[in-house]
Amino acid sequence: MKFIHTADLHLDSPLRGLSSYPDAPAERLRTATRDAFERLVTVAIEEKVDFMVIAGDVYDGDWKDFNTGLFFVRQMGRLRQAGIPVYLLYGNHDADSEMTKGLELPDNVHAFASRKAETFRIEPLKVALHGRSFKVAATTENLLPGYPMPVAGWLNIGVLHTALEGLTEHAKYAPCTVPELQARGYQYWALGHVHEQRIERGDTTIAYPGNLQGRHIRETGPRGALLVSAEEGEITEIERIEVDVLRWHALAVDVSTCVDLRSAVRLAGQAMEDLLTSSPGGLPMAVRVNFTGQSAAHAALASDEGQLRQEMIAQAVALDPDRIWIEKVRVATTAPATQASGLEGEAQDALNALQELAASAHADPEFLQSLQDDWQSMLEKLPHDVLQASQELAELRQADPTLIADRVRQATPVLMARVAGASTAA
């Protein structure tokens, strides 16, 4: 017996970070979450799975386009025609969605109630699925105490949309702990809400499949679902199914050996080529390029990130314009310690003090707020067309103080280098 465990489809959720760029593949970005789910349904049919479990967040919140819901109904219909039942639990995003309340699903879809936990039994397979949907998005109480006891002699699957204790980066919906899950006595917990794959094997298998399609740079790498095999009431195998149609990568480029902008750009181009070579054939990629290391090229890299991004786009276009797009370029390099040599006395002391201030800014909330206020005041004085033309300036208008502090930290060595150069020329 085998089944597919998936969660966090977030159908029609926008892919953030590329859609505003003129060189981005708009149609592919718009349909990525649908395409990933359609691929998963195809896999389910080809593998002839016995059933599918969806552990929450089919939709993406209060999205009012009913075409999204109709697409989901159509995919459920494909599974119905193949004789595959679906056990569906609604998560926090579904609780906000009009589609959850307004669309009738095919009769092969069994949705868990939200009033209390309930059990669906598959008699021929001796499988019992226990779950409870969210009634409201802000479900912050522990739902586990209401889950029923396991059915003796059967494979018991718990379905829950939850933020396990310790996963601080996720909103605390239906929080619980691993020992609490284990104590329930089920053989498998099909979880949702956390977008990274996590599997803990043992007498009780606890699994997050992750989301089907990465939507931004914080969701890098392969995305998909889990194909779970079981025999005589025990989990025997778990296989990752990759169905994403566009993949996000954070590409670190160490430019410690580079002496100028040209050599740094060439090195980044080589890193992108290596990424293309090692990635699955034909799969498009959205890449954030992060320049790192202590480098003589720091001043040139940090002085104009807008120009640097255009250089990276040119590298990507030359390699494969249909497969690789630049999401963003970040400069996290530092200047060599000798870059500002030649200064003496008060000038050197002033620059040293500025460098120390920039390095310690993150630990001083009052200074950060003052810096942000000054920065915002300057941005407000710029013409609207200037702000529209510069993505970096537009980002800074909504930036938190730590990002502004990063800009100051990066700019300080550039200033030191220029002051040193002016001093030498004089």
Tokens for 290, please give them: 């992060």
- Let me know whether 223 and 252 are in one domain: no
Judge if 217 and 254 occupy the same domain.
no
Strand order in the sheet with 51-55: 109-111, 86-89, 51-55, 2-6, 224-231, 234-242
Cβ-contact 96, 62 below 8 angstroms: yes
Q: Are residues 180 and 298 in the same domain?
A: no
Comparison of pLDDT for 400 and 109, the residue scoring more: 109
Query: Residues 80, 107: contact at Cβ < 8 Å?
Result: yes
Within-domain flag for 340 = no
Q: Check residue 340 and give its pLDDT.
A: 47
**Could you tell me if residue 339 is inside a domain?**
no
Per-residue model confidence as pLDDT tens digits over 198-234: 999 999 999 999 999 999 999 999 999 999 999 999 9
Q: Which of 306, 334, 362 is the last residue of a domain?
A: 334
77 and 198 inside one domain = yes
Residues above pLDDT 90, as percent of the chain:
54
- Residue 376's beta-bridge partner residues? none
Total tally of structural domains belonging to the chain: 3
Inside any domain, residue 46: yes
Cβ atoms of residues 134 and 143 within 8 Å: no
| Residue 160 domain flag | yes
Is residue 107 one of the residues assigned to a domain?
yes
Q: Quote the domain boundaries for residue 219.
A: 2-242
Average pLDDT, the chain: 83
Is there a single domain that holds both residue 284 and residue 399? no
- Confidence band, pLDDT 50/70/90 cuts, at residue 305: confident
Judgement on whether residues 67 and 168 belong to the same structural domain of the protein: yes
Nearest residue to 16 (alpha-carbon basis) of 2, 29, 34, 1: 29
